[in-house]
Amino acid sequence: MRTSDARSFPPAHPRSVVIVGASPTPGALGNSVLRNLERHGYAGTIHLINPKRDTIDGRPCLKSIDDLPMGVDAAVLAIPGPAVLGAVRALAARGVGAAIIFSAGFAEGARRGWPHRRRSRASPPSMTWWSRDRIASASSTMPPGCR
């Protein structure tokens, strides 16, 4: 992606972010994402989703993606692989512009019929599959090698 393309790609400078799988546990991915946003002075709106928490460090938590306001610019998913497909679909229904997926279990899922491995054996399991199949038309994805 060229520099000019990155500037015009809305998730490169989101005004709002949701962390699906936010966590109060230091070292947990959902906590690390939040800490990085805070540490680097992210000035936009941060929404947290954790069905088991009312707050994390004083920030309110939503119970589900369905509670999210419409039109959040970007989502970070820090959830188990089996939950990703449903989450991406729910994010698309809420008009979220992009999803960054930190998850495991996709290669293992290939043995149980996950379609991304059958369609593209040349590329590793990644967000490329979500974009290619247009499972969630409102979501854009960027494969791991494209920064």
Q: What is the pLDDT of residue 65?
A: 97
Q: What is the pLDDT of residue 81?
A: 86
Q: What is the pLDDT of residue 11?
A: 58
Using an 8 Å Cβ cutoff, are 87 and 56 in contact? no
DSSP state, 94? Answer: T
Q: What is the pLDDT of residue 37?
A: 95
DSSP letters for 49-92: E-TT-SEETTEEEESSGGGSPTT-SEEEE-S-HHHHHHHHHHHH
- Res 86 pLDDT > 70: yes
Using an 8 Å Cβ cutoff, are 78 and 22 in contact? yes
Using an 8 Å Cβ cutoff, are 116 and 100 in contact? no
Q: Which domains does the chain have, with CATH numbers?
A: 17-103 (3.40.50.720)
- Tens-digit pLDDT profile for residues 19-69: 999 999 999 999 999 999 999 999 999 999 999 999 999 999 999 999 999
